[in-house]
Amino acid sequence: MVDFMKTLNEIAALIARHVSKDGFHATSIERATLVRSSTLTMPMPSVYRPQLCLVAQGRKDVTMGDHIFRYSPGRYGIVTHDLPAIGHVVEATPDNPYLCLYLDFDPIMLGDLAARVPPPPGTPSPPIGKTVSDAGPGLLDATLRLLRLLDDPAALPVLGPLAEQEIIYHLLAGPDGIRMRHITSSQGRVAQIGRAIAWIGQNFRERLSIERLAAETGMSPSSLHEHFRAVTAMTPLQFQKQLRLQEARSLMLLQDIDVTTAALRVGYESPTQFSREYRRHFGEPPARDIARLRASPALAVVA
């Protein structure tokens, strides 16, 4: 336990040293992003990509459908598909900010290792596309080695891929190994749902027909609904609605587009229905929500 905490504290110190301001920070490690927040944040929606999120300091909650995932120091989450979720930092101060590492999965590296690493024994994990688990010593050690390379740019091109492979190895060999394999699988129900998720992501502005979506994925409507909910914790219509509302919020916040125009651009035919669903999802009417975000940008970090 002492070594575990020592490793975790060193990971936190490295992140803190390389990110002096709140927000998301790209690094010289191609797929790694560091996050810092010195305050609690509002619940903020985002589309989470297939990736690892390891929290080194502070706490956050992520809500996906009717599931709540709680992160604390030494816990990691994985995402297997592009999934809309709502995250917010629930423990952070200027002296002890929330600190975490995001590592996007390289599908080629992941596929190669998945073919060589035996799946862990035991009951197959449920297919839900997001989970949170306790990191073991091996995963933390590999993460520490990767982050140390931020201070050794000459060694990074050689040793970086090795540390990244070791991280993925521990994920594949650990309790989420079977779930990790869903990312690379092109067969089975989870792969079909992955194609449904991608199709909705590309066509969320259009009116959604479950029959058409089922045909696109080679499933019956009832099977699609059942397995889609198992992976995403949402129905296809709920999934589409979250994508529409998130895109509209981004348009209004970043491009200063008015409520009616934003509603029409994301596929709503009725601005009134849009405003009603927006308030139900974000807790405020559109104009008031955008004004609040602009007044307190530090509270809007997507954790």
pLDDT in tens, 261-276: 999 999 999 999 999 9
Q: Which strand (E) or helix (H) includes residue 212? A: helix 210-217
Q: How far apart are CA 66 and CA 78, in angstroms?
A: 17
Long-range contacts of 255-259 (CB under 8 A, 24+ apart): 259/286, 259/287
Compute the average pLDDT of residues 13-39.
Answer: 95
Q: Please, which pLDDT band fits residue 245 given cuts at 50, 70 and 90? A: very high
Which DSSP category does 60 fall into? Answer: E
Compute the average pLDDT of residues 147-167.
Answer: 96
- Per the CB < 8 A criterion, the answer to whether 48 and 201 are in contact is no
Higher pLDDT, 73 or 185: 73
Compute the average pLDDT of residues 205-230.
Answer: 92
pLDDT above 80 for 120: no
Query: Alpha carbon 206 to chain centroid distance?
Result: 24
pLDDT at 186: 66
pLDDT above 60 for 123: no
pLDDT at 249: 93
- Exposure string for 66-92, b = 16+ CB within 10 A, e = fewer: eeebebebbbbbbbbbbbbbbbbbbbb
Compute the average pLDDT of residues 232-248.
Answer: 94
pLDDT at 222: 93
Q: How far apart are CA 188 and CA 185, in angstroms?
A: 8
Higher pLDDT, 132 or 184: 132
In this structure, what token pair is assigned to residue 291? 């004004």
Question: What three-state secondary structure class fits 298?
Answer: helix
pTM here is: 0.86
- Per the CB < 8 A criterion, the answer to whether 128 and 233 are in contact is yes
CB atoms within 10 A of CB 165: 16
pLDDT above 80 for 2: no
Q: Please, which pLDDT band fits residue 302 given cuts at 50, 70 and 90? A: low
Q: Average pLDDT of the chain?
A: 91
- Per the CB < 8 A criterion, the answer to whether 111 and 172 are in contact is no
